[in-house]
Structure formats: C-alpha cells, structure tokens
C-alpha cells in the first residue's frame, strides 16, 4: 500500500458508484455545489429520482446522484444552501450564516424559495392573531385535557411481552443478530476495575473511585428524597435553620464582600428595570399548570407578586447590560410596589414601601426539578405512545423502548408540532431535536440490537431511502410496505416476506427490532463502505509536544508514564480479546519525530522530519502497530521520550504539520482514526498554519468582537475538510501558559467531531489527576469513525439546520470524522407543507459509522411526534431544557458573525415572542399587567438569563479570550443534560446530607442569599466543582471533613478532600465521586472559604444573582422579560 497508489485509487470514482465524490486532494470545493461523499449511504441508486413528487409512483433510474433528500429539498438545495458558501458549518467567517439574526429577518436571504420566507416573522405578527385564538382560555380543553391520543407504535399494551422477547444477553430469539453492543464495554478488562460504573463503556481506572457509584442514571441527584427529608426550604418556606432570609444573620453586618448597594433606593427598588410592571391593580405573575398535580403549587393560578424587604445585593441599577436597550424611563413608569397585590398588603406600611418581588415567589428551578423527580422518577418511561414528553434530564428514570427512541438518544423541544408553518411562525417555538446517536445507556437498559440482513443489507424505502422501522405500514398481505416518510410503496423482498396477523401487523413483529423498537443497528454491507471496501480497523496516533514548556510542566513525563498502561484499555469489540485499534507515536517541537515501534525491533527508531512545509510520513511499516505485539518496543519508547527531550531549550512549536502528519499516516494505512495531540504553545515557528498572537480584549462589546471567535487563517478549515474526508478525527489537549488561540487551534477538532481539553497553567502535581482522568475516558469511550448522519422526516417538515461538532459539504449529510458517545447534534426542523393530527410527524436519524473493530454499521433512531391545530397543545408538550440547548447553540454559532449584543437581543426577542404568543392565545383573559407563563416553560426566563450571562455572550473582565472560545466549542456539542447543569449549576447543601443514605441532599437555588454562613455547599456545573465553606460552620463538621480544628485552618489550596474514617468525610467524598462519574469531564475540586479571595470565582456561578459582568439577576430579568412581552402584546 504505497501512499501514492492509495491516493489515486481513493480519488477515483468507482464503477457503479456514482455520487461518491471523493474530496480531491489539494482540490477546492466548489462553493455551493453539494458533494456527496457517501453515495452508497443513500442507498444503491435504483429507481430513484431526487425530484420525484412525494406521492408519485416509482420512477425509472435517472442516473442522478444518489441522494435521499426529500424531493423538495433536492430541488431547492442550491438556493437553500447555507453551507455551500463557506467551508464550515458552525464555523468561522460565514457571512451568510447568521443572516438569521435578528429573528425578524427572512430565514434565507436572497434567492430564497418563497416557502421559507414565511419563517420571517413580521414584527407586527402578533397583532394579526385570529380573534378566536386570542379569546381562547386555558380551561377544560387545556389544563384538564386528557393525555394525547395513544397512537401507539409499539406493542399496544403488552409491554412485558416486548421486553421478554428481547433478552439483553440472549440472542436466541434473534438468530440473525450479532453480538449485542453492550459487550463492547463489558469486555474492557480487568482485575481491579471499578465494580459498577454508571457509564458502561467508559470505565475509569479503579483508583479514581473510592466508592462505587450506585447511580445508574445520567443525571444527578438520582433518587427522590426519602420521606422525612424536607423539601427545599429555600423555596417558599421560612429561612433554613441558621439561615436568615438575606443569607446571613441580621446581626452580622455585611462584610467587605457584601457591601450595601449605593443605589438601594427604597422608594424605587426597580430603578434598574424601570417601567416593568405598570398596570392595573390586578397585575402579577402567573404560571399556568398543565397538570393538576405538577407545578408551582403555591402560585398556581395565582399572582405571585409578593414583596419583601430588599436584599443586600438587590436594587442596584441595571447597569452594564447594554443588550437590553432599555431607554431611560420616566419616574411615573417605574414599578410601584404598592400597586402589586400580594400578601404584603397585610404588612405594616413602612415595610410595604420597601418591598420588591419575592424571589421565593417566582418559578424555582429546584422545585420544578424536584416535582418532576417525585412525579415521574418512579415509573419507567415507555416509549410506545407518540408525542410523549419524557421526564426531565435531572430525573433518574428507566426507559423502555416500545417503538420510539429513548430520550437519551433524542430529545425534542416540542413533542406536539404545529400543523402549519403559520402556527410555527406565530409561536416562534423552535422545532428542534437534540440527537445523541451513540449515547451511553445505564446498565439496566439494553443497548441497541444489531440486525444483520445479510448481503442485501438493510430494508429501505425505494424512494426516500428511509430504513425499515416501526412506522412502515405493511400492505397487500405483507408483500409491500408503504413508507411513513414519503408514502412510497416498496416491494418486500422474498427473504424478508412475512404474513400479517388480523391487525395487519407482521407475525414476526416482536422478533425484529426494526419493526418494534425505536433504536437498533443494521450491519452495513460493502455498499456502505468507502470505495466499496470493508474498512481497516481504525488507528490512534499519539502526538506529543516536547518543547520546553511541555517538559517543564511535567506533562511529557506524566503522559508517557500513563500511556504504558492506558494502551491496555483501547476500545474493543464485543468479546474480542484485544483491541483491533493500532497505535502510533509522534513527538514534535519545530520538527517532527516519527517512531518505528515494530515488534521485531529491539529498540524504537526515530525518524526526524524537518522539512515541515510539505509534510510526509517517513515510514509506513512499523509506525502503526498492534499494542500487544509491540509492547516492549512501545514501553521502551515511552521510557526514552522524557529523557531524550529533558534538556530541550526549544520553545517554539508547529501545529498544522502535526495534524497533516497524522492525516498522511492514516491515509497511508488506509484507515480512519483519531489523533491525540498534546500541545502547549501558540505555534509561532515558521510552518504551514503558523499563527500570531492576535488576542485583543478591547474588541469585547464592539462590532469586531466576532473576530475573537473566528480562526485567524483559512489553513485549518481547509485541513479540517481533508481530515473529515479521510475519517481523521483530532482530539486536542491544550496546556497553555498564555494565549494559544483556541478559536483557531480548535477548529480542526471542532469539525472532525473531536474534543478539546484545556489545562491552563498545567502542573503535573496539581492538575495531573484531572488530565489523566480525561485522557482515560477519552481514549476508552465508545466511538464511531468515518461517520455520516442523515435525518429523515415525514412529509410536511424537514431538517433545515444542524448544530454541533461536524462538517457539512451539502445541506443534509452531517459528516463526522468520528462521533463519540458524548457528542450531541441539535437539529432544527421547518415546515415545507402541512402536517396533520392523524399522521403526526416522524423523524428517523441514521448514523453510518465504522466501529472500533472496523465493522461498518448503521444506527437508527426513530421518533414520532404529535401534531396540533391548537397552540395550547404545543405549549403543554414542550421541554424547556431542550429549548435552551437549542438557544445556546444558536447563540454560540451566532457570535461568529454578529456582535454579542445582537445575539443576546435575538434570544430575548424570540423568547418574548414565544411567551407573548402563549399569553395571547392560550391564557385566559386577564389584565395585561400579569406575567403569565406556560407551565412547561416557566423556567425559560431564568435559564435564558443564565445563557445570556455566560462568559461567551457577556464576559467578565477576568475571562480570557481562549476561555470564551473553549466554552463555545464545548457547549456546541453538549447534550441536554450537560447544557442544563452547565448553565444552571447544581448547588447542594453538604451540611444537610444524610450520611445514612445514598441520596444527595436536595439542591438549593443558585443565589448567595440561599447560602448560610454556618453551612458547607457543593457546586458543580459539569466543568467546575467547588466546595464552599461558611465561616460559621461548626467545628465538628470542619474537623470531620477537613481534618483541621477551625475554619481558619482550612487549606483552600487542597485539591482533594482528606481521606478520613468518619461518615461525613465518606459521604461527601462519595458524593464528589458520583458527581464526577456522571459528567463527561473530570472536575477538579476547588475549596472556597467564605470571604476568601477565590470566592469571586464561586460567585460567578450563582446564576440567580446579578453578575459582576453586568448580567441581570433572575428577578430583574424576569421583570425585563415581562416588559418585552407586554410590548409585544400592546
């Protein structure tokens, strides 16, 4: 396999294989011309014409490029091509991409099909609402409505039957299946492994766990509080014991950290948010419950304009928030507290005048989370019913697949879609799904079964190429089936024929996953492989920066030592004894060093490539090797690397040639794979992809701020395209001591489905644990290579936009050099026709990938949704966490081409329209002064505010440009559980933990006034983990946890809790371990003492408070949203 020959054969279209247009090496993509890299993925082209009418009969072979676009898409793909004009999906400098901002712009500028212009909401749209809609009330038809019609796609009632016939370990029933996927993970060795891990497939070294996690869920706080555990007292009730309402005993004067606010003006507490709630005397806030048993009980159907005394941190003017474009307001427009009816009217008059909105009286995230846990955590979630809203991501629940995919794979913002685009436009609720195709399931849920249809491959619709699924309708005695996506009728091949029972169901319904389950896999045939060749097993290449900084920090030594054992944990297939993945090693500074670690060698051989302008791989044989065969040589190499470079004075590095080298090596080996690059500095050395320091914080809040998020050169976007075409995924571990330009260095990672990790000021001693845990998980996790994802939909809607870490060269295929179990892709759908309530809407996500052993597979996820003609049905079946996930990704892509101010305003505007539409069409008539929120979206304001205040959209002074780019990149591939906790952290009162129980204490709201001086709290958001200690904490508790006698003696520099043999220490350490196990990234523990200088870091995460960067408090923001909504309604 010589390199040149390989390239030639790879670039040539194969006979009978049209459409597999290979990315030509050194060629440019033609802008706007969709290329399909994976023709066969869309099926061997037979009788398919892309522009065929949706309902028409089968057409003869047209010879058109194979594509399974819905017909209208194919016809319009060029005009509608938002990716074809630039290199990068979600990427930099795409001037067209953010044309969606602001919302009121047309969806696609210029040359846009008329069909899409209707998505441009006219500002006055709300005023044209039909009268009958405006008069509609939430009453019998909404809040007391029966559950959605049971359009069951799964087994009607025989739930047990399904599960019984799919034994997780016994393939006896399915002779056609191969090994269940779960074996991939369970086969990871060995003695000393952690006993039980909530993430099968991501076992982490035993040393990480001091106690086995018992949680099997993906989310935190796994169990409902036991009887007797008090509800979060912070919510409605009196202050916590030992906790005053202001967070500190009144007898304690505010310390230096809690200065009295100069603008605390009793007469006008709303100075910062003036003119918010003027209105008739009946005004207030309302939340409309959708289910009688759920919701915000104390305020149910009532106003919650309760007031109470101003808090120390409150009543500062609403400064530093240019995004709200609030004009100076006249005095008379200011909120008059006395005009808000509430229990405060019974208070003495002198208190009344100083009152404001009570934080306890506005919707509480904690109560919503706890209510969902107690209402929905006990019963399994069965997916047989169409359009069911799943429990929240924070609820621990078991899923039973009965014909729709688990919410662990797909979550939607709306489970009841509006039938028409007019309704969608009116309500502005984005129709979006967050798809995590390779999500890890808890141990008690069976992984998707693998279906092998032999040489003929998966059964598919002839026209749209949708895969066989529970929604396909068999007709004519089972000889044909009608597609649920395009209605085309397809012949059933003889080998797949089966008789139907009296209900029209195939007799083998329960025996075939593709007929009865929402998620399953097909073994792909050679038609689904590049060049019609079964792929080689993938390779991992470790590429280590050996410049001065990397050596000095201890990184190189630590990494080389760890690799000796880590290589035993490479992903392996099923019951395979060893991993099929081959490994290779490169070190570099200004030049690259390749190593020959062939098993026959006594010592590794180094080959230096100093001509980095035109990178090539100096050796083929012996570079990528089997770990077991070459173990002695590899170990010798890993011993020698730190010694060889120990005295280096070289401070300059290259970066572009490193990726090029890895790419060339994979090309030469004709395999997909992953590069693990460990890199420390800005690549200043003369080489392709050389960068300069262009950091400039002065650009913040200017129109040029977007430049900070864009790459500084096109070099890496071109390189990324090549990597994607070759299935070369790049994971980047950064160890910077200063600006390294994450926005540019991370680009290839971002577009190849890789992960970036950043360890600023890395020191092996202090940060080694975090780095090694991340590395272990990253190397070992379930991953698919050389992937393409396609989302098909039933007639009426289609996927129009995608967010995540991937590349798109056309409008429909999401190309991923690799996709791992942690990565989610957010998809937005738009109408292209009417939907109807009877048929609902169907979504099918198909992921074609190469497994870690080189097996080509298709993972299929199906989801069916309801459709409605009444907007109230839509608002009752929404999921705010998913909505927020979409908003985050929309905003974080938006900052590439828009000022952050514009992005913030766009989010506020769209959210206000969503809530105003509800108010106008679904809420009972009431005073315009009332803020009325739909039950399912009552947390939208608080969560939205968290997104607006995040470092990417509104950075505080100390946040670096690299950190912002890093956060942006992380968030864009987060799933719903991750965005949920990242934007609204979990804050647990440690002093309230029950040492005799496995449960966590009930979380409290993220606000300083909820903290007690006598308490200890744990805060985590998936990236950061703090333990905050109040200065009045009991000495006994301090002794039990920190092993010192007093608050003053606690060493806040400690990065791990001391191992003490008492129940408090054990319980807290176990909580920390469990929380870490629930998150994809290891969180380093930081101890923060009250009033310590580090406290400002901690306070940054108290999301309900006003932020140092000028972000609004929750109360202020809710008032602001109320004002926006009122403006839309007036």
Q: How far is the CB of 709 from Zn ion (least distance, A)?
A: 40
**556's torsion region: left (phi>0), alpha (psi -120 to 50) or beta?**
alpha
Considering beta carbons, is residue 465 or 777 the nearer one to Zn ion? 465
Distance in Å, CB of 64 to Zn ion, minimum = 16
Closest separation in Å from C-beta 120 to Zn ion? 30
Note if the bond before 884 is cis, omega within 30 degrees. no
Given the complex with Zn ion, which of 488 and 936 has the nearer CB atom? Answer: 488
Would you say 459 or 486 has its CB closer to Zn ion?
Answer: 486
Considering beta carbons, is residue 74 or 609 the nearer one to Zn ion?
Answer: 74
In the complex, what is the shortest distance from the CB of residue 404 to Zn ion, in angstroms, rounded to a whole number?
18
Q: What share of the chain is helix, strand, coil (3-state, %, to 5)?
A: 30, 15, 55
Number of H helices, E strands in the chain: 28, 31
Residue whose C-alpha is closest to residue 659's, from 596, 593, 729:
729
The nearer residue to Zn ion, 21 or 462, going by C-beta atoms, is 462
CB nearer Zn ion, residue 70 or residue 284: 70
CB of 842 to Zn ion, least distance (A): 10
Q: Which is nearer to Zn ion, 483 or 1071 (CB)?
A: 483
Q: Whose Cβ is closer to Zn ion: residue 450's or residue 461's?
A: 461
Of 51 and 640, the one with the shorter C-beta distance to Zn ion is: 51
Q: How far is the CB of 483 from Zn ion (least distance, A)?
A: 3
Instruction: Give least dist CB 46 to Zn ion, A.
Output: 13
Min dist. Cβ of residue 462 to Zn ion (A): 7
User: What contacts 680, CB < 8 A, 6 or more positions away?
Assistant: 545, 547, 549, 550, 553, 555, 653, 734, 735, 736, 737, 740, 762
The label of the residue with tokens 């399909």 reads: 36
Closer Cβ to Zn ion, 43 or 391, answer by number: 43
* Residue-wise DSSP of 628-683: TTTHHHHHHHHHHHHHHTTT--------HHHHHHHHHHHHHHT--EEEEEEE-S--
Backbone dihedral angles phi then psi of residue 861, each to the nearest 5 degrees: -125, 130
Burial of 125 (0-12, 13-18, 19+ CB in 10 A): middle
Residues 1022, 1079 contacting (CB under 8 angstroms)? yes
Distance, CA of 400 to CA of 321 (rounded, Å)? 46
Question: Do β-strands 814-820 and 783-793 pair in parallel, antiparallel, or remain unpaired?
Answer: antiparallel
The burial of 172, by beta-carbon neighbours within 10 Å (0-12 exposed, 13-18 middle, 19 or more buried), is given as exposed
Nearer to Zn ion, 22 or 844 (CB): 844
Other CB atoms within 10 A of residue 579 CB: 25
* Number of C-beta neighbours around residue 561 at 10 A: 16
Around 509, how many Cα atoms within 13 Å sit in the side-chain half-sphere?
25
Residues 6+ apart with CB under 8 A from 784: 437, 438, 816, 818, 819, 820, 847, 849, 850, 851, 857, 859
The residue (of 42 and 416) whose beta carbon lies closer to Zn ion is 42
Smallest distance, Zn ion to C-beta of residue 461, A: 3
Residues 6 or more apart whose Cβ sits within 8 Å of residue 502: none
Smallest CA-to-CA distance from 589 within 681, 665, 712, 720 is with 681
Q: Are 841 and 867 in contact (CB under 8 A)?
A: yes
Of 234, 282, 321, 169, the C-alpha closest to 926 is 282
Nearest distance from C-beta of residue 464 to Zn ion, angstroms: 3
Tell me how far apart the alpha carbons of residues 994 and 407 are, in angstroms, rounded to a whole number.
31
Q: Kindly give the pairing relationship between strand 756-758 and strand 592-596.
A: unpaired
| Residues contributing to the site for Zn ion (CB under 5 A) | 461, 463-464, 466, 483, 485-486, 488
Q: What is the DSSP letter of 955?
A: -
Q: For 908, phi and psi rounded to 5 degrees? A: -65, -45
Partnered with residue 861 across adjacent β-strands are: 519, 845
Nearer to Zn ion, 460 or 530 (CB): 460
CA–CA separation, 61 and 480 (whole Å)? 20
Min dist. Cβ of residue 147 to Zn ion (A):
30
Choice between 476 and 686, CB closer to Zn ion: 476
For the bound state, the minimum distance from the C-beta of residue 492 to Zn ion, rounded and expressed in Å, comes to 14
> Closest approach of Cβ 808 to Zn ion, in Å?
22
Q: How far is the CB of 16 from Zn ion (least distance, A)?
A: 23
> Which long-range contacts link 487-494 to residues 24+ away (Cβ below 8 Å)?
487/54, 487/55, 487/795, 488/55, 488/58, 488/461, 488/462, 488/463, 488/464, 490/460, 490/461, 490/462, 490/463, 491/462, 492/459, 493/456, 493/459
Q: State the nearest-atom distance from the C-beta of 48 to Zn ion, in Å.
A: 10
Q: Which residue has the tokens 């060493």?
A: 1051
Distance separating alpha carbons of residues 25 and 234, to the nearest angstrom? 61
Residue 113: CB minimum distance to Zn ion, A = 22
d(CA 928, CA 934) in angstroms, rounded, equals: 16
466 vs 659 by CB, closer to Zn ion: 466
- Cα-based distances in Å from 189 to 198, 579, 583, 1086: 16, 11, 19, 32
Cα separation, 789 vs 878, in Å, equals 25
The residue (of 485 and 1101) whose beta carbon lies closer to Zn ion is 485
What's the min distance (Å) between Cβ of 69 and Zn ion?
Answer: 12
- The residue (of 464 and 581) whose beta carbon lies closer to Zn ion is 464
Of the pair 490, 870, the CB lying nearest Zn ion is at 490
- Write down the least CB distance from residue 54 to Zn ion, Å: 9
């Amino acid at each position: 396999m010589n390199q040149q020959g390989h390239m030639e054969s790879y670039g040539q279209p194969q006979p009978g294989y049209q459409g597999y247009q290979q990315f030509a090496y050194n060629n440019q993509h033609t802008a706007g011309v969709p290329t399909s890299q994976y023709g066969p993925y869309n099926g061997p082209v037979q009788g398919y014409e892309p522009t065929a009418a949706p309902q028409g009969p089968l057409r003869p072979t047209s010879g058109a490029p194979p594509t399974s676009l819905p017909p209208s898409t194919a016809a319009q793909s060029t005009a509608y091509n938002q990716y074809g004009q630039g290199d990068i999906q979600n990427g930099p400098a795409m001037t067209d991409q953010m044309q969606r901002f602001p919302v009121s712009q047309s969806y696609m500028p210029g040359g846009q099909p008329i069909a899409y212009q209707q998505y441009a909401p006219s500002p006055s749209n709300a005023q044209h609402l039909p009268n009958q809609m405006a008069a509609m009330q939430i009453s019998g038809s909404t809040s007391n409505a029966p559950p959605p019609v049971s359009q069951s796609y799964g087994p009607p009632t025989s739930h047990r039957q399904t599960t019984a016939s799919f034994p997780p370990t016994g393939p006896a029933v399915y002779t056609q299946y191969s090994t269940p996927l779960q074996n991939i993970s369970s086969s990871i060795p060995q003695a000393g492994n952690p006993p039980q891990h909530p993430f099968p497939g991501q076992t982490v070294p035993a040393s990480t766990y001091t106690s086995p996690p018992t949680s099997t869920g993906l989310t935190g706080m796994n169990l409902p509080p036991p009887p007797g555990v008090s509800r979060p007292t912070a919510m409605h009730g009196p202050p916590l014991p030992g906790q005053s309402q202001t967070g500190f005993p009144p007898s304690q004067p505010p310390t230096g950290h809690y200065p009295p606010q100069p603008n605390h003006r009793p007469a006008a507490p709303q100075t910062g948010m003036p003119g918010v709630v003027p209105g008739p005397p009946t005004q207030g806030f309302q939340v409309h419950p959708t289910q009688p048993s759920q919701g915000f009980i104390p305020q149910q159907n009532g106003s919650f304009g309760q007031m109470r005394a101003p808090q120390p941190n409150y009543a500062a003017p609403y400064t530093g928030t240019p995004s709200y474009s609030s004009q100076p307001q006249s005095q008379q427009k200011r909120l008059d507290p006395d005009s808000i009816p509430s229990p405060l009217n019974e208070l003495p008059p002198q208190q009344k005048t100083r009152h404001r909105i009570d934080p306890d009286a506005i919707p509480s995230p904690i109560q919503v989370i706890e209510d969902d846990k107690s209402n929905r955590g006990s019963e399994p979630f069965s997916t047989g019913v169409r359009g069911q809203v799943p429990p929240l991501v924070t609820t621990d629940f078991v899923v039973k697949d009965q014909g729709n995919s688990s919410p662990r794979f797909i979550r939607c913002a709306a489970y009841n879609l509006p039938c028409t685009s007019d309704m969608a436009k009116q309500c502005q609720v984005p129709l979006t799904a967050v798809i995590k195709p390779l999500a890890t399931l808890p141990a008690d849920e069976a992984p998707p079964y693998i279906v092998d249809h032999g040489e003929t491959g998966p059964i598919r619709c002839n026209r749209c190429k949708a895969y066989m699924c529970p929604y396909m309708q068999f007709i004519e005695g089972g000889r044909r089936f009608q597609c649920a996506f395009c209605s085309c009728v397809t012949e059933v091949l003889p080998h797949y024929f089966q008789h139907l029972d009296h209900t029209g169901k195939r007799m083998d319904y329960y025996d075939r996953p593709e007929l009865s389950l929402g998620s399953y896999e097909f073994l792909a045939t050679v038609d689904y492989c590049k060049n019609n060749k079964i792929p080689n097993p993938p390779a991992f290449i470790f590429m280590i920066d050996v410049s001065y900084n990397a050596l000095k920090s201890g990184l190189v030594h630590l990494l080389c030592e760890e690799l000796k054992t880590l290589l035993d944990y490479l992903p392996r297939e099923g019951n395979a004894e060893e991993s099929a993945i081959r490994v290779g090693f490169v070190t570099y500074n200004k030049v690259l060093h390749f190593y020959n670690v062939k098993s026959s060698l006594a010592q590794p051989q180094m080959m230096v490539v100093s001509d980095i302008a035109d990178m090539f791989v100096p050796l083929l044989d012996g570079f990528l090797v089997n770990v077991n065969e070459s173990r002695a040589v590899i170990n010798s190499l890993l011993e020698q690397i730190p010694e060889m470079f120990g005295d280096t004075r070289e401070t300059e590095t290259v970066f572009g040639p490193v990726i090029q080298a890895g790419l060339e090596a994979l090309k030469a080996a004709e395999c997909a794979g992953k590069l693990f690059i460990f890199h420390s500095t800005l690549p200043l050395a003369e080489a392709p992809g050389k960068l300069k320091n262009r950091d400039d914080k002065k650009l913040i809040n200017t129109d040029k701020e977007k430049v900070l998020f864009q790459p500084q050169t096109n070099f890496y976007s071109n390189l990324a395209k090549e990597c994607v075409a070759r299935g070369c995924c790049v994971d980047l571990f950064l160890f910077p001591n200063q600006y390294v330009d994450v926005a540019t260095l991370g680009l290839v990672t971002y577009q190849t489905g890789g992960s970036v990790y950043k360890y600023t000021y890395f020191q092996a001693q202090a940060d080694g644990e975090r780095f090694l845990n991340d590395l272990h998980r990253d190397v070992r996790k379930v991953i698919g290579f050389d992937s393409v994802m396609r989302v098909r939909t039933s007639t009426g809607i289609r996927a129009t936009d995608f967010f995540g870490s991937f590349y798109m060269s056309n409008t429909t295929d999401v190309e991923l050099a690799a996709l791992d179990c942690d990565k989610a892709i957010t998809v937005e759908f738009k109408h292209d026709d009417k939907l109807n309530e009877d048929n609902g809407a169907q979504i099918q996500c198909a992921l074609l990938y190469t497994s870690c052993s080189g097996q080509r597979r298709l993972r299929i996820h199906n989801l069916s949704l309801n459709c409605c003609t009444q907007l109230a049905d839509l608002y009752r079946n929404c999921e705010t966490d998913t909505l927020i996930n979409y908003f985050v990704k929309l905003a974080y892509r938006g900052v590439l081409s828009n000022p952050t101010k514009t992005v913030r305003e766009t989010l506020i505007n769209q959210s206000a329209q969503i809530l105003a539409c509800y108010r106008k069409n679904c809420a009972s008539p009431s005073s315009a002064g009332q803020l009325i929120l739909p039950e399912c979206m009552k947390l939208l304001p608080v969560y939205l505010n968290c997104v607006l205040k995040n470092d990417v959209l509104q950075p505080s002074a100390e946040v670096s440009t690299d950190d912002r780019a890093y956060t942006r990149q992380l968030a864009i591939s987060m799933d719903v559980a991750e965005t949920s906790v990242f934007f609204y952290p979990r804050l647990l009162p440690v002093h309230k933990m029950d040492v005799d129980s496995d449960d966590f204490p009930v979380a409290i709201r993220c606000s300083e006034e909820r903290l007690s001086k006598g308490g200890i709290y744990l805060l985590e958001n998936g990236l950061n983990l703090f333990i905050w200690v109040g200065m009045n904490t009991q000495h006994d508790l301090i002794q039990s946890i920190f092993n010192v006698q007093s608050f003053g003696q606690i060493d806040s520099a400690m990065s791990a809790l001391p191992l003490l043999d008492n129940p408090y220490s054990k319980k807290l350490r176990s909580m920390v371990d469990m929380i870490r196990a629930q998150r994809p990234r290891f969180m380093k523990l930081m101890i923060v003492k009250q009033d310590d200088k580090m406290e400002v870091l901690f306070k940054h995460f108290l999301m309900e408070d006003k932020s140092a960067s000028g972000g609004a408090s929750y109360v202020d923001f809710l008032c602001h949203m109320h004002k926006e909504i009122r403006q839309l309604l007036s």
